[in-house]
DNA sequence: TCCGATTTGTTCGTATGTATG
DNA sequence: GCATACATACGAACAAATCGG
């Protein structure tokens, strides 16, 4: 894959998949490409030959090289099974398997097959997934956006889905500019009730840990701030810790240790972006010999299996998980079937799940004031 | 048709059609053809490239150019992506996502796509999965057998895979009668070292909980018994509890409660079929106010994320998980590629992982005797 | 209709890298 | 380790088709 002609080939293919070229539009002459990629004519021709062979482009002597028309020849589509691609950030971790299971079980019951991809929340890997899906013949895509809070360079691929008539629904988050059908939680509300619960219990120094490279984290942080404002409790900016996919393993635990050592104004409660983080932070609390919830309260998010795995049963926010997967599957099925029958793009409403707090034993009233 | 490369191409094609070359027979090196037709290397390559593309011949770097076997199905198989089906008992739970991720990451890096199915360890659902896979065009299948310890009525489907030339590998367990390529752990040894560890610590009344509808459970139980025998510790049949997929949620916890209430000969240690069960049983121990490992020791199996989620860090047996997925993917890729090139079913050796005990804080010396 | 610029097609040469047996 | 055979990559020249003026 590291040969020059392969690089040229893949680069051109990417452009096609991103919709840079309309069918029958000129891809550029051999001379153009020679200059663009700074390679020999032979190399360009080798790349182009393969693309022609795979049906992406066609050539006409004396005229030029053109983008092929890949709009599927509808025929013989009926008999084959329907295929749905599911692209999520993670695959094996945490709540994602459950979401995927929801989609898989519903779709397989309805005669669809599910092919899975994961991006590891990495833009480059997302691009590869999107290219793979566009290169194949999928009838629909369920996708969780990667790094949804950051500008996404792969937007073009999504636009190309629309151009090629492949319906998709987004879960967990969505890119505003695309206005896709989406299935999300009300994450602001989720963050709000996490925090409100602690404020109601009398906590006033609450640490908030939020992941800020996806929209969910940003929104939950918004809810965290909103709750403080509603309850009239002032919030120091130093009480908010943000981290990213790349720093998630070390940064939050390290920050918590620092915050707990810094003598004055010790926090009495922690709001976590998710259960996974809460479990990580619980280990820090154990190490520092702090009892939960007597010395410090902690709230998770997602109600994953981790929330009840340890001796501390986490107070957390319910995430629909399997239900979200099923809902996404139902939506994509509806869209596909409507499209088949009526040819016009149906209007489908997004789904927004309302969060719900599950109170377990990791939160309690602040005891500090009574003790003093 | 009067170009040189076309002449060469047609001449070689004629020879093939006249039967001058048997399948897999050498067509002649580039240098031979250069001399034979008195043309440049480039011209020969162009001719050969087209013949390869049309499926008449194939090339192998370093080896030569050979006549293809046209008896095989010539239908546009080359250009489409390769699809692998992964069928596991579970999908979203426990270590399965990690295994699947291993396979998925390796395969997607190698240009394959992964379609997933799960049987929920139910024979009827397994049948549906197998039918779906057989009716689609999959290039290979990675499968974990369902209820592997029980007679399987779906054996015929597996035989049909062989008849249709679809390679498959089995993970975790396999049906003896099929003698498939398989990737498993040495579960007898795993059960043995789990138990040996406790016996070495001085425990003599050890409860063993095993799932007996899959082969892994049966084998781990075998290891449990073997360890007792090796250490010369007598084992009461009442110390072994077996359960199935259907009873896994209620039966083991209930049995443990009974065993702990029954006054005489209280157990001082527990061997669990897996970490998932260990976590379940830990809750029972907490409810009965038994400290781990002071009052009772417990050993898990699989080294899943659950084993370190709680305050009790489980002593457990390492399961290769992701590695097993990768290994399975590598094997299936090897088989597919060898089959493509040489037509003869390659001989691939099964993989057996050796278990390894990971000692954490859930096990300790029995304290009862010293106390008395 | 023809011209000329552009673009792809064919063919030669040369060199170095990499896999196979 | 070595020869063989295919893979990648550069350069050059001329032929043939296309298209706008």
**Residue A88 above 70 pLDDT?**
yes
Strands (E), B29-99: 57-60, 64-67, 82-88
Q: What is the radius of gyration, based on Cα positions, of chain B?
A: 28
Q: Are strands A64-67 and A82-88 parallel, antiparallel or unpaired?
A: unpaired
CB contact under 8 A, A279 and B128: no
Q: Looking at residue B81, what is its pLDDT?
A: 62
Closest CA–CA distance from residue B320 to any residue of chain A (Å): 14
Mutate to test the interface with B, among A116, A300, A311, A322 (most CBs of B within 10 A): A116
What pLDDT does residue B341 have?
Answer: 59
**Model pLDDT, residue B252:** 94
pLDDT at B130: 86
pLDDT at B67: 83
SS3 A320: coil
In the complex, which nucleotide's C1' lies nearest to the CA atom of residue B59? D6
Mean pLDDT of chain A: 88
Q: Is the CB of B45 under 7 A from strand D?
A: yes
Q: Do B83 and A306 touch (CB under 8 A)?
A: no
**Cβ separation A309–B310 shorter than 8 A:** yes
What is the nearest CA distance from B124 to chain A, expressed in angstroms?
13
Confirm whether any atom of chain D, the nucleic acid strand, is less than 7 Å from CB of A29: no
Are the C-beta atoms of B99 and B171 separated by less than 8 Å? yes
Residues 6+ apart with CB under 8 A from B63: none
Residues contacting A79, CB < 8 A, separation 6+: none
Name A residues 52-71 whose Cβ lies under 7 Å from strand D.
60-63
d(CA B307, CA B357) in angstroms, rounded, equals 13
The pLDDT value given to residue B340: 63
Provide, in whole angstroms, the distance separating residue A147's CA from nucleotide D8's C1'.
38
Q: Kindly state whether B3 is in contact with chain A, defined as any CB-CB distance less than 8 angstroms.
A: no
Enumerate residues 295 to 324 of chain B having a beta carbon within 8 A of any beta carbon in chain A.
305-306, 309-312, 322
> What is the pLDDT at residue B138?
86
Alpha carbon distance B298, A240 (integer Å): 39
Q: State the Cα–Cα distance between residues B240 and B149, nearest whole angstrom.
A: 17
Q: Which of residues 170-189 of A touch B (CB under 8 A)?
A: none
% of chain A at pLDDT higher than 90: 48
Predicted confidence at residue A183, as pLDDT, reads 95
Residues A187-318: name the CATH superfamily. Answer: Response regulator (3.40.50.2300)
- What is the rounded average pLDDT of the residues A104-133? 87
The predicted pLDDT at position A371 comes to 39
Could you check: is the Cβ of residue A24 within 7 Å of any atom of nucleic acid strand D? no
Residues at the strand C interface (Cβ < 7 Å): A 29-32, 42, 45, 59-65; B 3-6, 39-43, 46, 60-63
Give residues with Cβ within 8 angstroms of B279, minimum separation 6: A309, B300, B306, B309, B310
Q: Do A116 and B117 touch (CB under 8 A)?
A: no
Kindly state the tokens that stand for A314.
């986490």
Residue A345 binned pLDDT confidence (cut-offs 50, 70, 90): low
Closest-CA residue to A171 (of A137, A194, A138, A148): A148
Q: For residues A350 and A183, is the Cβ–Cβ distance under 8 A?
A: yes
Cross-chain residue pair A81–B135, CB shorter than 8 Å: yes
Give yes or no for a cis peptide into B293 (omega within 30° of 0): yes
Confidence (pLDDT) at A244: 94
Measured from the CB, is B64 under 7 Å from any atom of strand D?
Answer: yes
Maximal C-alpha separation, chain A: 90
Average pLDDT over residues A134-138: 83
Closest nucleotide relative to residue A45's CA, C1' based? C8
Reply yes or no on whether the pLDDT at A77 is more than 70. no
Alpha-carbon distance of B212 to B209, in angstroms, equals 9
Our measurement of CA B10 to C1' D11, in angstroms, reads: 29
Residue contact B93–A96, C-beta within 8 A? no
- By percentage, how much of chain B surpasses pLDDT 70? 92
**Best CA proximity match to B241, nearest among B230, B228, B232, B250:** B250
- Where are chain A's structural domains? 4-67, 81-179+322-353, 187-318
Q: What is the pLDDT of residues A140-152, one digit of tens each?
A: 999 999 999 999 8
Please write the tens of the pLDDT for every residue from A153-162: 899 899 889 8
Residues 6+ apart with CB under 8 A from B196: B227, B230, B231
Point out which residues pair with B212 in neighbouring strands: none
Whole-number distance in Å between B65 CA and C10 C1': 23
Contacts of B284 in chain A (CB under 8 A): none
Q: Which nucleotide is nearest to A52 (CA to C1')?
A: C8
Pick the CATH number of B4-67 from 1.10.10.10, 3.30.1130.10, 1.10.3720.10, 3.40.630.30: 1.10.10.10
- Looking at the predicted structure, is the pLDDT value of residue A274 above 70? yes
The alpha carbon of residue A84 and the mean position of all alpha carbons in its chain are separated, in whole angstroms, by 17
Question: Are residues B91 and A81, on separate chains, in Cβ contact within 8 Å?
Answer: no
Look-up of token digits 């004396």: A62
Query: In Å, how far is A280's CA from the nearest CA of chain B?
Result: 9
Q: B64-67 and B57-60: which strand pairing?
A: antiparallel
Residue of B nearest to A306 (CA): B309
Answer yes or no: do B115 and A117 touch at CB < 8 A.
no
- Kindly report which listed range (A57-66, B105-114, B207-216) carries the lowest average pLDDT score: B105-114
Residues 76-105 of A with CB under 8 A from B: 81, 83, 91-93, 96-98, 100-101, 104-105
How large is the greatest C-alpha to C-alpha distance in chain B, in angstroms? 102
Q: Per CA to C1' distance, which residue is closest to D5?
A: B62
Q: How far is B233 from chain A (nearest CA, A)?
A: 33
Q: How many helices (H) and strands (E) does chain B have?
A: 12, 14
The yes or no reply on domain B81-179+322-353 and CATH 3.40.50.720 is no
Mean pLDDT in residue range A36-45? 89
Please compute the mean of the pLDDT values over residues B253-258 and round it to a whole number: 92
Q: Provide, in whole angstroms, the distance separating residue B45's CA from nucleotide C3's C1'.
A: 37
**Which tens digit of pLDDT belongs to each residue from B135-185?**
777 889 999 999 999 888 888 888 888 878 888 999 999 988 888 889 999
Structure tokens at A307: 């929330």
pLDDT-above-90 percentage for chain B:
38
- Judged by CB atoms closer than 8 Å, whether chains meet at B101 and A115 is answered as no
pLDDT tier for residue A80 given thresholds of 50, 70 and 90: low
* Chain segment A187-214, per-residue pLDDT in tens: 999 999 999 999 999 999 999 999 999 9
Lowest mean pLDDT among A284-298, A318-332, B85-99, B342-356: B342-356
Q: How many CB atoms lie within 10 A of CB A263?
A: 6
Q: Is the CB of B52 under 7 A from strand D?
A: no
Query: Smallest Cα–Cα separation from A276: which of B308, B269, B53?
Result: B308
Q: Is residue A235 over pLDDT 90?
A: yes
Distance from CA of B213 to the nearest CA of A (A): 23
Question: Over the range B30-54, which residues count as b (16 or more CB within 10 Å of their CB) and which as e?
Answer: eeebbeebebeeebbbbbbbbbbee
Comparing B104-113, B294-303, B311-320, the range with the smallest average pLDDT is B104-113
Any alpha helices (H) in chain A, and if so which ranges? 4-17, 30-37, 41-53, 96-109, 123-135, 155-163, 187-200, 215-230, 251-261, 275-287, 322-342, 368-371
- In the predicted structure, residue B58 carries a pLDDT above the cut 90: no
pLDDT at B300 over 90: yes
Q: Do domains B4-67 and B81-179+322-353 have the same CATH topology?
A: no
Decide if A108 and B98 are in contact by the 8 Å CB cutoff.
no
Give the three-class secondary structure for B230. Answer: helix
Tell me which of A17, A52, A113, A314 to substitute to probe the interface with B (most B C-beta atoms closer than 10 Å).
A113
CA closest to A312 among chain B residues: B310
Q: Provide the shortest C-alpha distance from residue B95 to chain A (in Å).
A: 8
- Beta strand B82-88 with B112-118 is parallel
Measured in angstroms, the CA of A54 and the nearest CA of chain B are apart by: 7
pLDDT over 50 (residue B369) = no
| Helix (H), strand (E) at residue B49 | helix B41-53
Rounded average pLDDT over A30-45: 88
In terms of pLDDT, which residue wins out, B285 or B53?
A: B285
Q: Cβ separation of A96 and B101 shorter than 8 Å? A: no
């Amino acid at each position: 894959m590291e040969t020059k002609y392969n690089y040229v080939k893949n680069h051109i293919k990417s452009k096609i998949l991103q919709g840079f070229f309309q069918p029958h539009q000129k891809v550029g002459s051999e001379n153009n490409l020679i200059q663009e990629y700074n390679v020999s004519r032979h190399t360009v021709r080798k790349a182009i030959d393969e693309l022609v062979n795979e049906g992406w482009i066609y050539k006409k002597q004396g005229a030029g090289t053109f983008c092929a028309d890949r709009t599927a020849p509808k025929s013989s589509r009926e008999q084959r099974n329907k295929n749905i691609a599911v692209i999520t950030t993670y695959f094996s971790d945490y709540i994602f398997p459950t979401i995927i299971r929801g989609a898989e079980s519903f779709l397989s019951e309805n005669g669809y097959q599910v092919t899975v991809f994961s991006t590891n929340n990495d833009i480059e890997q997302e691009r590869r997934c999107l290219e793979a899906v566009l290169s194949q013949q999928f009838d629909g895509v369920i996708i969780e956006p990667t790094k949804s809070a950051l500008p996404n360079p792969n937007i073009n691929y999504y636009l190309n889905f629309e151009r090629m008539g492949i319906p998709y629904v987004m879960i967990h988050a969505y890119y505003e500019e695309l206005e896709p059908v989406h299935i999300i939680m009300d994450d602001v509300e989720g963050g709000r009730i996490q925090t409100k619960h602690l404020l109601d219990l009398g906590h006033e120094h609450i640490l908030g840990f939020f992941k800020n490279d996806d929209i969910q984290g940003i929104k939950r942080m918004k809810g965290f701030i909103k709750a403080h404002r509603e309850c009239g409790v002032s919030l120091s900016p130093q009480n908010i810790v943000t981290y990213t996919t790349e720093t998630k393993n070390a940064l939050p635990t390290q920050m918590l240790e620092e915050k707990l050592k810094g003598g004055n104004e010790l926090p009495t409660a922690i709001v976590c972006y998710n259960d996974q983080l809460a479990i990580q932070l619980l280990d820090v609390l154990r190490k520092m010999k702090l009892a939960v919830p007597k010395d410090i309260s902690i709230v998770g998010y997602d109600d994953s299996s981790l929330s009840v795995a340890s001796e501390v049963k986490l107070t957390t926010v319910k995430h629909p998980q399997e239900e979200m997967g099923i809902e996404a599957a139902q939506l994509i099925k509806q869209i596909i079937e409507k499209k088949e029958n009526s040819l016009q793009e149906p209007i489908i409403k997004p789904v927004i799940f309302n969060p719900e707090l599950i109170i377990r034993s990791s939160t309690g009233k602040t005891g500090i004031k009574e003790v003093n």
